[in-house]
Structure 1
Amino acid sequence: MPAPPIRRTAFDALTLTDLHDLLALRSSVFVVEQSCPYPDIDGRDPAALHLIATDGKGDIVGCARCLEPDGEAPDATVSFGRLAVDRSQRSTGLGRALVVESLAVLSERWPGLDVVIGAQLYLERFYGSFGFVRETEPYDDFGILHIDMRLRR
């Protein structure tokens, strides 16, 4: 089964239903499935470009957010995160498609800036397949081991 299509949406263009369903998916994956109570609403969503994948019924089944540059030139970097895929869409390539689309957005908006992400440790090989390289030792982020990874551009 092919991965669902992905649309790009500014925060202000999200419908209330989209926002509800987006936050529900993130909560389902990051808080419930991973047993990790953490502050998902961190104030960064309004400035982010959101990637949303919907199934044939219009339900949100995947998401990610692309973030503006962090820092000042020449050390500025960009990032994406909050990448979540509903259980029903795992192993369809949707996670990979969300990373590809995230990298495309970041390249279009901020060409040449390195991409730095905080990745769950178990996903190191997955992100490595896109060219990301580990920059830190594992660290605890609300009970889940993470590493910082960079894609040089």
Structure 2
Amino acid sequence: MLALRQEILVVEQQSPYSDLDFADQTASHLLAKIGADFVAYARCTWPSEETAFASFGRVVVSKQYRGTGLGKELVQRSLARLGEESCDIVIGAQLYLENFYSHFGFVRDGEPYDDVGVPHLRMRLRHEYARRI
């Protein structure tokens, strides 16, 4: 799981950031495997003392499985898992994926920002809508 995240988020996207943020210990991890290989991943987190919202992130799909619908399924499963909470879902989406996430009901929640050299955008899905997904 960590190797797949590093391969895509750090190496492929040339974004040297600290992936080990200690959120993994309390997160829920969605993994897709084909044979012995992990091919897709997403991490879900719940509200805490620091945040009043749920979130998911670190969404990755191996190159050879992109365009197969696997990313869409990961987002749907993440929303289904997090939709049980009575709160909004807030994500930090890569800017070029704004339209992808808007198909799930996410809307802009602020201005674009730089995250270790990669343009991002905070997006929010209201609780009322998340429960219907």
- Give the Å deviation of 1:97: 0.3
* Alignment gaps of 5+ in structure 1: 1-21
Moved beyond 6 Å, runs of 4+: none
| Matching of residues 2-151 of structure 1 within 5 Å | 22-55=1-34, 57-71=35-49, 76-108=52-84, 110=85, 112-151=86-125
Q: Would you say the 8 A contact 1:79–1:117 is kept in 2?
A: yes
Task: Give the structure 2 partner of residue 18 of structure 1.
Answer: none
Instruction: Output the CA distance in 1 between the equivalents of 2:65 and 2:106.
Output: 24
Structure 2 residues not aligned, in runs of 5+ = 128-133
RMSD value over aligned CA atoms?
A: 1.3
Please tell me whether Structure 1 or Structure 2 has the larger radius of gyration of its CA atoms: 1
What SS does the corresponding residue of 2:46 show, helix, strand or coil?
A: strand
What secondary structure is seen at the aligned counterpart in 2 of 1:69?
coil
Distance 1:26 1:97 in 2: 18
Percent identity for Structure 1 against Structure 2: 55
TM-score normalized by the length of structure 2: 0.91
Letter in 2 for 1:104: A
Query: TM-score, normalised to structure 1's length?
Result: 0.80
Decide whether the 8 Å contact of 1:71 with 1:77 is kept in 2: no
Displacement after TM superposition at 1:71 (Å) = 4.6
What is the CA-CA distance between 1:58 and the residue it aligns to? 2.5
SS across alignment from 2:54? strand
Secondary structure of the equivalent of 1:105? helix
Distance 1:70 1:118, change over 3 A: farther
